[in-house]
Amino acid sequence: MKISKKNLPFIGLSSLVLLASSFAAAAEMSNMDHSGMDMSGDMSDMDHSGMDMSGDMSGMDHSGMDMSGDMSGMDHSGMDMSDMDHSGMDMSGDMSSMDHSGMDMSGDMSDMEHSSMDMSGDMSDMEHSSMDMSGMQGGQPPADARSPDYSNGVPYGQYGKPMMMGSMPLWGVSVDDLGYQFDEDQINFEAMGWYGTDSNRIRLRTEGSAQTKDDKEIDSLSSLAYWKPLSIFWNGEAGVAYDTENDNAAIMAGIVGTAPYFIETDARAYLYTDGQLRLDLGAEYEWRLDQHWVVIPEVGLTAFSKDDHDNGITKGFNEMETEVRLTYETFSRQLAPYVGVSYETALGKARGQRRQENESVDSSSLTAGVKFWF
């Protein structure tokens, strides 16, 4: 009994030493360096299902682990690797037959470091069908995530759905000439109104002259046409027309636009009900002197396909009209009064016919008027 009492302090001290050694070994495992571990061998039959790696392995260094060997038969179904650092793992080997069906990846893997993982190996046959990735972001959006018109359910308000300016129907009126010829004692006019979009329009156009003395006769050529762009600089027209000078209706087709050097050009053909064909050609140029003063020279030609002595018409070119106007644009260029000089002359056989009827062949006149649009 005395001997036993003497040995008790020694036994207690030994137990404390063993217990301290166990804690030191456990602490040392958390900082283990696996950089030199070679796992390139055949580990296909290794069973890791019972390995408990749920402890704190956040300090473990796997940067040097070589896993390029054959690990096709490894079973990782029971491994918990939520806190592991994989930054240096080499996974370039053949992992095509690895079974990940039991791996639980639903935990928090936000702190896992994969920046240095080499996954260049053949992983074409890996089975991921049973992997739980419910915690990852992605997937199909809901059916009502975005509306087709990108309104996201927000109404357009009192002004309705917006649209492009080119698709919005608009209207306009332009009077290119409303002036008085002093020597001829008549009023010349040329006006046009339209309604539609930049792609399709309906245009109503009229031009002519009205006598201010004697019988005050009005000669005009009016047309109602469909207008459509043909190219960047050219537009096409087609419709019906009526000529008060010969009291006849016609089918009209034409092309208008901008020729090189910004010359406004128009060409219109009229096929009358009696078979007469009329061709009107015109050109106009705006020579801008400054922000308000503009010089506008213009010229027009008229030709017919056959003679019509009752209306003073001969086959070929009948007459040419020219005018030069000096305009001053005001009110945002929407109103422009002008003064100018006009000149008219008969062409071809029309000169002889006018002489026989004691009509003037050439005439010139001072003009004054206004052009505007709105």
Q: Are 348 and 317 in contact (CB under 8 A)?
A: yes
If we measure between CA atoms, which residue out of 323, 321, 326 comes closest to residue 339? 326
| pLDDT for residue 331 | 84
The residue behind tokens 């003073």 is: 312
pTM recorded for the entire structure: 0.59
| pLDDT for residue 24 | 54
Average per-residue pLDDT for the chain: 77
pLDDT tens for 199-257 read 999 999 999 999 988 778 899 999 999 999 999 999 999 999 999 988 999 999 999 99
pLDDT score of 276 more than 80: yes
Lowest mean pLDDT among 12-26, 157-171, 277-291: 12-26
CA distance 77 to 101: 7
Cα 28 to Cα 15, 21, 53, 255, distances in angstroms:
20, 10, 15, 94
| pLDDT for residue 3 | 41
* Token digits of residue 21: 């050694």
Question: Which residue ranges make up each domain of the chain?
Answer: 167-373
| pLDDT for residue 1 | 41
Q: Which residues contact 76 (CB under 8 A, 6 or more apart)?
A: 48, 49, 98, 99, 100, 102, 103
pLDDT score of 5 more than 50: no
Percent of the chain predicted with pLDDT > 90: 47
pLDDT tens for 119-171 read 555 555 666 666 666 556 666 766 666 666 666 667 777 777 777 776 788 99
| pLDDT for residue 216 | 82
pLDDT score of 7 more than 50: no
| pLDDT for residue 184 | 86
| pLDDT for residue 9 | 45
* Token digits of residue 290: 């400054």
CATH 2.40.50.100 fits 167-373, yes or no: no
pLDDT tens for 57-87 read 545 555 555 555 555 455 555 555 555 555 5
Q: How confident is the model at residue 287 (pLDDT cuts 50, 70, 90)?
A: very high
CA distance 136 to 111: 14
Higher pLDDT, 357 or 320: 320
| pLDDT for residue 84 | 53
Lowest mean pLDDT among 17-21, 44-48, 203-207, 309-313: 44-48
